[in-house]
């Protein structure tokens, strides 16, 4: 744009602002992808450790309250990471809420608990309350997603 025309300085300024925003958005997108890859790597490692420890029988050797302590420790690490790692917290905020709700649709597996209870393969105290509760949660998750 020529400087002598009316409004050309404003248009030039707006073009520069838009270019800067595109660069900034592109930079944020790259950072989000980088964080997502790092989180995926950590979760893959966590999953591999869980599968290995389960397949080797190491988790069978744990007697209460040690499994609960491990669970609380992992949950504590998650809270610490959320509190002190700004990039991790930012990545968590980018996850759409409907994904978090959609995960609970898998809880229709509670119907299978009830099926296993019928021939006596699962005890009542686990199958009926757990199965019914899972079905209710899955139904509400489905309603929320619709």
Banded pLDDT at 44 (limits 50, 70, 90)? very high
Rounded to whole angstroms, the Cα distance separating 89 from 86 reads 5
Share of the chain above pLDDT 70, in %: 78
Helix axes 86-94, 8-55, angle to 10 degrees: 100
Higher pLDDT, 26 or 91: 91
Look at residue 129 and tell me whether its pLDDT is greater than 90: yes
Rounded to whole angstroms, the Cα distance separating 45 from 52 reads 10
Q: Mean per-residue pLDDT for 77-100?
A: 88
Q: Mean per-residue pLDDT for 75-95?
A: 89
> What local confidence, expressed as pLDDT, does residue 38 receive?
82
Rounded to whole angstroms, the Cα distance separating 124 from 116 reads 10
Look at residue 27 and tell me whether its pLDDT is greater than 80: no
Given the structure tokens 């597996």, which residue do they identify? 109
Rounded to whole angstroms, the Cα distance separating 146 from 140 reads 10
């Amino acid at each position: 744009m020529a400087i002598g025309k009316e409004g050309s300085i404003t248009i030039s300024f707006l073009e520069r602002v838009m270019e800067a925003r595109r660069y900034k958005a592109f930079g944020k997108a790259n950072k989000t992808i980088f964080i997502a890859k790092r989180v995926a790597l950590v979760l893959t490692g966590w999953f591999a450790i869980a599968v290995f420890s389960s397949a080797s029988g190491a988790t069978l050797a744990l007697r209460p309250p040690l499994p609960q302590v491990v669970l609380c420790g992992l949950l504590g690490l998650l809270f610490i990471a959320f509190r002190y790692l700004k990039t991790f917290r930012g990545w968590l905020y980018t996850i759409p809420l409907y994904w978090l709700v959609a995960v609970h649709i898998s809880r229709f597996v509670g119907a299978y608990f009830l099926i296993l209870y019928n021939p006596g393969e699962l005890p009542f105290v686990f199958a009926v309350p757990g199965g019914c509760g899972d079905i209710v949660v899955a139904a509400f998750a489905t309603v929320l997603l619709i």
